Chain A
């Protein structure tokens, strides 16, 4: 088990290094003068030239890459050009908000997705099946920015039930979590449904049925337990996916998280900040995949056996 986890982690390292390289090259070939941007309309050319020289922006790219890598390993992602603060600090301060959003959204997606998947598997081709699958498909097919706008308009503006935007307490989390969670509920629902249908074809379920167990019992006690294995593992991946889905949600609801930082970094062309934010998100995705793999191996006896053989 430990060996497996260790090996998975080792494989991730070259991937990570490759990513830093791709990212660095992509972001550093951008033309234009970041310093001119720092100061916008009301700055004189003399001041711009002066600050540019002070920021080592004229070193060759390879020198800058290794400086970046060495610093990144020590947790130093440089300073944001626009915000004049360490990128690492900015990301760590914003991360809890993003994590909170992602977790709430994940909860929403499970609350909608799992029952939808189970119901539509059990009552296949019934009206309930159609309804739930339609509902979750609607979530997948709606652009997040659009559903956010509609929900804001209805619940905050017309009904005055929920705050419009910002993040000052749990009430502010409801709309963003619904918007983001709904968008991935469909994936959960489909996976639950197909996984449950597959499990129910297996012999032991037929046996259980034959023994005269009631259908609900069969499903909850036997089938669901196994059917949820792939669902659980996708949850780990999903949290990472939600973290990047938060990009749009956070900007619409003015939540000061990592996604908002990323969008701001792009619009203000703050290269070090963008670089740090994307790297941060990427590490999270890799971690999510890692957790998923390990979780899967722990939960699924077949894989566990396979691993024993390998090791």
Chain B
């Protein structure tokens, strides 16, 4: 459908008199988009959409992006902290004079309240995982205690947190958006409405929630009294736009300032090829890995030779090149590049002939029927990739059918460890290998994510690594675990990690892709001209 310039002119002149062009933009407003409504600003009540929490609240510590794919933990609301020699006691000294949006001053009691609120079963919080290492957290969650024994306000400015056992990644966890700090009096008064409307949202962060129209947009305004200094932007508008082609139209007609190509992956070649836009692309690696789950409880994947064959039968490079326009790198381990302790793992070669041999050895000389799974409402990206893989592995003798149960059925089956191999992506919630290993290969993860990789030594090592203080030895252990899980056991198929690409309007300055490659980020330092 292409209109000639003349047709355009005719149509335009006929219609222009009837309609006005887009209104002038408000000064210093950044307009971004998300694919779905965040549902709440309350970071304790969401597990995936963090734009609001990251901009409205602060954490005790923050992970700051120091370079592409690199981060370091920096002081946030806590000015400084000490960790006891046994790794059990953390003492945080709060910054003085930090004010919430409603004018109240931050105190140690607010921090204790915030974490207790998360663990209070009445809150029904979804991010409790972050805090379960604190002594007494499990009792509080189970309703056996009215407070958390490991949480103490020593005075107005000092918070002491005691862990049940040493956990090396605890500080990194406190920088996760879920650990955002709230104000006791305000949040208690808001009850279960906290974070749902501008009136019931209150934080210390650089932006204040001013307007929230469900399924449509959220408007944030600069916090003039922000303790780090007022943000450069006056306002931040987050629009909800689900379709990639709509997003591109919005961006090209200057209704959006930042186009996250994660939300419009199919438009990637266009922007890279466009003279107007190719210099406006901002790109960074992401600490996240695409992978195929393998369920060893389902035949034929109980046989390690079949699993190895499956690893070898997928032409990962072609998928990156054709489906992601070459904007990514192959991954061979459990840890993606950028993660603490990352080291390149033994490469997995694409070798359909070898895969066929392995299948024959395993007793399937004529190939084998398998099933790949994906929930019906997962995005087109997944069904596209599954169809590509289905075609690729046929060469090695895997005759795959793709089943698409609805999401509820899929999740229930997975919880019971009964799904078929499925493809997914995992991005780091916090910069520590535990976030990957524990999630997938701990005793509970291996079952509830349907790996059934019942290797007691792996289970034991993952628990052991959690408490190790010697970082070098700890990293070594994770690298050994990688070799065992991916190499020896062939329990998972690492695929690739993708760059995160954005296109920004020329007026946008200081836009930095966050270390983890998330779509959700703080816009504190971004400017518009």
Contacts and interface: CB of A to CB of B under 8 A. Distances in A.
A and B interact: yes
A43 B409 contact: no
A165 B377 contact: no
Interface in A149-163: 149-150, 152-163
Contact of A39 (B36, B47, B213): B47
Contact of A32 (B19, B215, B411): B411
A33 B253 contact: no
A267 B375 CA distance: 11
B499 interface: no
Contact of A164 (B12, B19, B249, B377): B249
B302 interface: no
B165 interface: no
Interface of A is mostly: helix
Contact of A161 (B12, B216, B245, B407): B12
B157 interface: no
A283 interface: no
A48 interface: yes
A48 B124 CA distance: 10
Interface in A12-58: 30-34, 36-48, 50-51, 54
A264 B3 CA distance: 34
A163 B3 contact: no
B391 interface: no
B250 interface: yes
A205 interface: no
A84 B40 contact: yes
Nearest to A269: B408
Contacts, number: 148
Interface in B186-215: 192, 196, 213-215
Interface string B117-143: 000010010101100000000000100
B424 interface: yes
Contacts of A159: 3, 8, 11-12, 15
Contact of B45 (A84, A252, A254, A269): A84
Nearest to A90: B214
B407 A84 contact: no
B162 interface: no
Given A54-B121, A164-B249, A41 B426 contact: yes
Interface residues of A, number: 58
A120 to B, nearest CB: 25
A45 B415 contact: yes
Contacts of B129: 43-44, 47
Contacts of B410: 32
Given A166-B239, A171-B20, A260-B215, 17 more contacts: A31-B412, A32-B408, A33-B411, A40-B47, A44-B448, A45-B444, A46-B444, A154-B3, A156-B249, A161-B15, A163-B255, A165-B250, A167-B216, A251-B242, A254-B246, A261-B215, A264-B37
Interface of B: 1, 3, 8, 11-12, 15-16, 19-22, 36-37, 39-40, 45, 47-48, 121, 124, 126, 128-129, 141, 192, 196, 213-217, 239-243, 245-246, 249-250, 252-253, 255, 377, 406-412, 415, 424, 426, 429, 444, 448
Interface of A: 30-34, 36-48, 50-51, 54, 82-85, 90, 93-94, 149-150, 152-167, 171, 174, 251-252, 254, 256, 260-261, 264, 267-269
Which 9 pairs show the lowest CB-CB distances between chains A and B? A32-B408, A36-B411, A256-B216, A256-B215, A42-B47, A164-B249, A45-B448, A157-B249, A32-B409
